[in-house]
Structure 1
């Protein structure tokens, strides 16, 4: 990726991430195009090259860490439950919302075929680490009708009262996304736990609920 460096874009991307990480300055579409064929070939092997991913994640440039995330999303079907600790380690090393929000998709895909992920996510929701909690909250974000509401409620309740911006946002986004599928459940949850939810969480969770009520009037 080094030969694709764009210093001006790299500066902008670093600034967006609060200057915590180095970037080559490769936009997402261009970056993904660089390894599209490689990922297609890797999927035919039906196994994850953890040695390669570990090496890439150690690179200081964020694009290599994004590659690891994209790789794992693409090959999530071939990741056994026993490797969940590896995903957790990448979340911890990534240490910010961008890699967390990509890697929780991997956990989500794993959870659709292995029920042991449910208990693991409950454990993660009790973690003192903000990004581990956030991954637990949002791992069902794309589940729609497959959402386990009992699991969602348990995880959200475990995370209430953190007073952390990225946790409050994650709770709000989880509720907002599920409100597209089951608005009554979300409305009931917000009403029942209104005093424990932050104003930010309520605002995010109510986005589509408010639109729905407006349309019905």
Structure 2
């Protein structure tokens, strides 16, 4: 048995031993019954994973990726969360080619919970390490046939604040703003809302001159409205 299989088995057995039937139904219902759950809520899951992640903190990046891919094959959703936690620990050591793995995970057992972690956390950190890749990948992904890849293209810079490539952000929204798709509309609003905390004037000006879907506009201005900075 290789190291990735060993880690995967250790995580799966740990989760199986801490399954909670009382939580399971509610967690599955919250995710529209698309995934099975052990019923382990986030605080406990993180607590269970901490010693395992610490034990394998010197894991090679190759084994880290292989372990994550194995965990994505598991039926229980907590295993996908564990995979992303494992990748998060190694994100600063990501190779240039790792963006291909992130895209593979975006389209595997896709839903907003994993997609948002991948798009804003893993991809976000990747593009800070390889800034020359941000524009070409974002431009490519925003035209993807896959909904979740398109959503990710909006969220890459979610945590960039002053480092945001404003032109790229607005251009990406321009490409996607007319889609009548909740997860795209919501992502646009989220991205605009986060950027409004850094450059409120740019977001207000953009929305003044750009016709976005009502949900995107409402979400994009929410923070500014709460601060009393806009009244529209």
Q: Answer whether TM exceeds 0.5 for this pair.
A: yes
Secondary structure of the residue that 2:153 maps to in structure 1?
helix
Q: Distance in 2 between matches of 1:43 and 1:143?
A: 26
**Deviation of the 1:214 alpha carbon:** 5.2
Q: Is the 8 A contact 1:48 1:75 kept in 2?
A: no
**Which of 166, 173, 197 is the equivalent residue of 1:180?**
197
Q: Is the 8 A contact 2:224 2:230 kept in 1?
A: no
* 1:35 correspondence with 2:49: yes
Q: Is the 8 A contact 2:24 2:40 kept in 1?
A: yes
Corresponding residue of 2:80: 65
1:88-167 pair list within 5 angstroms: 88-104=103-119, 105-115=121-131, 116-167=133-184
The runs of 5 or more residues in structure 2 that have no matched partner are: 1-14
Secondary structure of the residue that 1:94 maps to in structure 2?
coil
Q: Distance in 2 between matches of 1:190 and 1:215?
A: 12
**Which of 11, 16, 22 is the equivalent residue of 1:8?**
22
Paired residue total: 214
**Deviation of the 1:158 alpha carbon:** 1.6
Secondary structure of the residue that 1:156 maps to in structure 2?
helix
Corresponding residue of 1:52: 67
Q: Distance in 1 between matches of 2:191 and 2:62?
A: 29
**Deviation of the 1:48 alpha carbon:** 4.4
The runs of 5 or more residues in structure 1 that have no matched partner are: none
**Deviation of the 1:51 alpha carbon:** 2.0
Q: Distance in 2 between matches of 1:134 and 1:12?
A: 26
Cα deviations across residues 40-61 of structure 1 (Å, max 9, x unaligned)? 3444345242221111110010
**Deviation of the 1:156 alpha carbon:** 1.1
Q: Distance in 2 between matches of 1:35 and 1:26?
A: 11
Corresponding residue of 1:210: 225
Cα deviations across residues 83-132 of structure 1 (Å, max 9, x unaligned)? 21111111101311000011111000001110213311111111121110
> What's the Cα RMSD here?
1.6
Q: Distance in 1 between matches of 2:55 and 2:179?
A: 43
